Structure 1
Amino acid sequence: MVISKMNANFQSSWFGHPRGLFLLSGTELWECFSFYAMRAILILYLTDQTVNGGLGWTIQDALRLSAIYSALLCLTPVLGGWIADNYLGQRRSIIIGGILMAIGHFMLAVPNNMINLHVLQVFYVGLSFLIVGNGLFRPNIFTMVGALYREGDTRLDGAFTIFYMGINIGALLSGVIAGTASTYYNWKAGFLCAGIGMLISLFTQLLFANRYLGNIGIEPVAKKQRRTSDSNRKQPLTLIERDRLKAMVIMGLFVVIFWAGFNQADGLMNIYSQQHTDRMIGAFEVPAAWFQSLNPMFVIILAPLFAMLWRYLGDNEPSSPIKSAMGMLFLAVGFICMIGAVMQQDSDISVKASMWWLVAAYFFHTLGELCLSPIGLSLITKLAPLRLLSVTMGAWFSSSAIANYIAGFIGSHVDDAGPLTIFGGIAITAVIAGILFVMCSSTLVEWMHGAEKKAVRTQVKTDVQILSVVP
């Protein structure tokens, strides 16, 4: 018997929230574990020597592939959300996507000696399964969280806090567990860990969804949306709506710059930690993949502090453009730390940089993320016309795909330009972008036509909750 939405939401709860929230959080925790495990070890696997089980690619080729892979991970959720809305429903999309992702991970985990000359073919097919599965899984797990609550339910802000805490816990565990398995066993063991994490996510959803989610996410919702949007599309955009769209476009361009720098974490900075960083603590060598757990760890620690800061500032809370400028400047400081690491090596490549340069870089990058990242989805919900909400959301995801591709393209030129030029160039670009953000902040706020002022009290609660999960 299918449990009604009301029964699923309001008759059984933990800590004042529907039990379905904790089911979705647990499902996403393990999906993020598998997702960030790939982020932690993919580049290292590609560039490692074949005698160590890697593919022996050049840094340039590895970063180019990583750029394409990351960009497709950001683009396919747009299509996956459309398929769920029109044909499969969210629950079926999550199950099918989870199955495809698990298959992809296990294909990557097949030992090279078992497939001999077909290593690359199996590798590419495995990545393809991950890309398609991610497109079906990721957008729909997020929308189901909102479906647990009635419109106007004040618990929704706290719900997203719990949900995103699960995301960061999964990301934190992935670098440690998959990185350790890759370092002390082999790369295939790391991919196997990612596949096991995806299976846990999948079985969690299969075992408890009917019990805790009721009929949420079963039926496609496109018919109702289509009726509404068809009537609304006939209405021309108002002057206020056009101004708000202009504000979103301008801020979106700046956000691409931020993520193009931030996403060096799993690319160039990941390689730098492997090849040019002194990772020894006494007799113990810290696995390079562990550095990928620094960002989620800092998010878990700092997000509540940011929430308290915005609440303390009250009406003096910075506007979205000023927060974005702060994020840019923190990004620049992080890359100044990376410049320090390169300068410590000087001209002697046999000298390795202190790992604390990287720790500091990830710390400042996380500060920038917490200032800028919440603007994404919240900006769309505040500014986009309702009849264009889906299109605008898709465009925002596409901008993340562009940022991921640019990140890989920039990093791939490290052999030609050198790390000092790359890190320095990103730092300078971030500073310039931050200054421009400040200069045009008044105009952007004016184009928002009061959306910032109306949303300021709600934004205090939501700023650290809506963190981007499109790397």
Structure 2
Amino acid sequence: MSSQISQKHPKGLYVLFFAEMWERFSYYGMRAILLLFLLDNIKGGMGMSAAEGTAIYGLYTASVYLLTLPGGWLADNILGQKKAIWYGGIIIMLGHIILAIPAGSAIFFLGLSIVAVGTGLLKPNISSIVGELYPEGGARRDAAFSIFYMGINLGSFLGILIVGYLGEKVNWHMGFGAAAVGMLLGLIVFRYGSATHLKGLGDVPPAEEAGEQAAASPSGGNKMLGYGLIALLVVFLVVLQSSGTIDMTTAQGLAQGAGIIIVSISAAYFLFILVAGGLTRVEKYRVGVLIILFLAIALFWAGYEQAGTSLQIFAERHTQRNIGGWEVPSSWFQNFQPTFVLIFAPVLASLWISLSSRNRNPSIPVKFAMGLILLGLSFFVMVAASNIAVQGDLASPFFLTFTYFLHTIGELCVSPVGLSSYTKLAPKRYLSQLMGIWFVGASLGNLIAGIFAGGFDESNILQMPALFNQVAIVTTVFGLILLAFWKPIKSWMGGIH
């Protein structure tokens, strides 16, 4: 099978696959021990309270995705994607090296900030180059993103396994150091692989390409509109702060306000690009589709990321985990997600190509609808499981296993397809910036997941069925709405499949 895949896809895809795998190794590995390190007061951790530690954790994950916006802009206008990836990887590695130094909280937060900046620079641009490998678009590009997505999940699995073990069992800072080594390996792969297999891709900023410069350079009036939108956002945040709606003087307040900030920035950016971006009528309709997909992916991740919150509590407290007298660690249930992705990503990649050859490949909005409906069905499974817990019994582990299976199939209908669709639908001169917006949608979903799960009172199990039922209904209904309107949404795509 591997020889067949290599014949269908350029070798540059595998350069990006392994570079992204090692970057995700460093990211997810460090993230796996970050909160534990912040809360630990025995083995040299920060000794924070749970409220403060989770707020900082949330701010970090949100900022990583939010920084993809300036990272995309730098690539589109100054660096080009290749340089953005290279410099981003170096910055990430330096950040992890700083984290590996046991030198107090100020140095630690410096390292954390540097990792976030580097990730914001690298993350949207490596996905953009995957899209550029397939200028013809179609099912081959969707299949390529599914393969690329396998690299993300393989890196996640290995990072949590190795960095998590070193951090928890040996030394926190050794774990952070292992993340730096992973990023170094990613840089080596990208440096030497791109020189041979990615020639001519991502070298020149899209805004500087022939015929694009005039459209990419907004007029003085458009610039003033952009500055005005930024000023309105600043005023809006000041009003929220002064009215007491948010309190950005504390970590908890910053985390609570992050959702408002992300929604404001995303709405302002979409408004700016539609009004002052110099887009044609077709491009404006395509950006309209990107807005719909942005809302869909934020909602999808809001449910999907319950894996680390409400579903983790359910695994810990309400799931039968004894096998022959040995208790399975509750966190191991989260490994079902990357494992299922690695198993089923090539299956769905082949399915899209097979359906395309018969002109039956589902359109992008249909795939998104399928993903949201599958996510909703998974939470109906959890409603049944939580009804067992309400009776005082432990639920079978197969409930969570089946839930994560449905999560994964839904994820494979949404996430790699969404990555691919953004590269196809985005106006070329705004490609990396809009890839950044895609990851901002993921950030918003993570924040919604945390806020929603914050209402999960683990001491009151009677509310669990209602909580899971809410997620199930909201995601299923949105998926059905997408399914009902897939034809007009598809017509807005201007012939792109």
- So what's the TM-score if we normalise by structure 1? 0.75
Change (3 A) 1:393 1:194: closer
Which whole-Å CA distance do the structure 1 matches of 2:429 and 2:190 have between them? 32
- Equivalent position of 2:408 in the other structure: 366
The one-letter amino acid of 2:84's match is: S
AA matched with 2:19 = T
- Is 1:261 the counterpart of 2:337? The answer is no
**1:271-330 CA distance string (max 9 Å, x none):** 554566554443555445544432222122212332344455544444333332221221
1:301-380 matches, cutoff 5 A = 301-311=343-353, 313=355, 314-346=358-390, 354-380=396-422
Of 124, 131, 139, 2:124 maps to: 139
Q: Which residue of 2 aligns with 1:75?
A: 66
Q: CA deviation at 1:132?
A: 0.6
Superposed CA offset, 1:252-279 (max 9, x none): 3233211211122344434554566554
Which residue of structure 2 aligns with residue 94 of structure 1? 85
Task: Percent identity, please.
Answer: 39
- Structure 1 stretch displaced more, 424-433 or 392-401: 392-401
Q: Is the 8 A contact 1:63 1:409 kept in 2?
A: no
Paired residue secondary structure (2:457): helix
Instruction: Give the superposed CA RMSD.
Output: 3.8
Residues 52 and 360 of structure 1: CA distance in aligned 2, closer, same or farther (over 3 Å): farther
Aligned to 1:130: 115
Mapped to 2, the partners of 1:342 and 1:203 lie a distance apart of 47
| Corresponding residue number in structure 2 for 1:178 | 163
* One-letter amino acid of the counterpart of residue 403, structure 1: G
**Inter-partner Cα distance in structure 1 for 2:199 and 2:489:** 43
Give structure 2 stretches of 5+ with no counterpart. Answer: 1-5, 220-275
Q: Please, which runs of 5 or more residues in structure 1 have no aligned partner?
A: 1-13, 456-471
Secondary structure of the corresponding residue to residue 485 of structure 2: helix
Query: Which deviates more from structure 2 when the two are superposed, residues 182-191 or residues 295-304?
Result: 182-191
Contact kept? 2:25, 2:182, Cα under 8 Å: yes
**Cα displacement (A) at 1:364:** 0.9
Aligned 1:179-258 pairs, distance under 5 A: 179-185=164-170, 187-206=172-191, 210=195, 213=198, 217=202, 220=205, 222-224=207-209, 226-227=212-213, 229-230=215-216, 240-258=282-300
Residue 131 of structure 1 deviates from its aligned partner by 0.5
Which residue of the partner structure matches residue 24 of structure 1?
A: 16
Count of aligned pairs between the two proteins = 429
How far, CA to CA, are the matches of 1:264 and 1:413 in structure 2? 12
Contact 1:67–1:406, Cα closer than 8 Å, also in 2: no
**2:485 aligned residue:** 440
Confirm whether residue 66 of structure 1 aligns to residue 110 of structure 2. no
Residues 374 and 93 of structure 1: is their aligned pair in 2 closer, same or farther, counting only changes over 3 Å? closer
**Greater mean deviation of Cα atoms: 398-407 or 84-93:** 84-93
CA distance in 1, matches of 2:332, 2:73: 36
- Checking the alignment, whether the CA contact within 8 Å between 2:18 and 2:189 is kept in structure 1 is yes
**What is the TM-score normalised by the length of structure 2?**
0.72
Please state how far the C-alpha of 1:31 moved relative to its aligned partner.
0.9
Asked if the contact 1:258–1:331 (Cα under 8 Å) also holds between the matched residues in 2, the reply is: yes
Report the counterpart of residue 9 of structure 1 in structure 2: none
Q: CA deviation at 1:72?
A: 1.6
Paired amino acid for 1:137: L
Distance 1:338 1:82 in 2: 41
Q: Specify whether residues 133 and 181 from structure 1 end up closer, same or farther in structure 2 by C-alpha distance, changes over 3 A only.
A: same
- 1:170-194 CA-to-partner distances (Å, cap 9, x unmatched) read 1222233234434544554543432
1:129 deviates by 1.6
Partner of 2:94: 103
Partner secondary structure for residue 50 of structure 1? coil
Deviations 1:13-64 (A, max 9, x none): x7576654433322221111112223434344445x5336655655554444
Q: 2:32 aligns with which of 26, 40, 46?
A: 40
Partners in 2 of 1:292 and 1:405 — Cα distance? 19
Tell me the CA shift for residue 127 of structure 1.
Answer: 1.9
Contact 2:68–2:437 (Cα < 8 Å) also in 1? no
Give the Cα–Cα distance (whole angstroms) in 1 for the partners of residues 45 and 314 of structure 2: 17
Q: Could you tell me how far 1:96 is from its partner in structure 2? A: 2.9
Q: In structure 2, do the counterparts of structure 1 residues 335 and 177 end up closer, same or farther at CA, with 3 Å as the change threshold? A: farther
CA distance in 2, matches of 1:401, 1:408: 11
* Structure-1 separation of matches of 2:203 and 2:372: 41
User: What does residue 466 of structure 1 align with?
Assistant: none
For residue 232 of structure 1, report the CA deviation from its aligned partner: 10
Tell me the distance in 1 between the aligned counterparts of 2:363 and 2:79: 39
CA distance in 1, matches of 2:168, 2:83: 36
**Greater Cα offset, 436-445 or 157-166:** 157-166
Deviation at residue 344 of structure 1 after TM alignment:
4.0
Distance in 2 (CA, whole Å) between partners of 1:384 and 1:438 is: 22
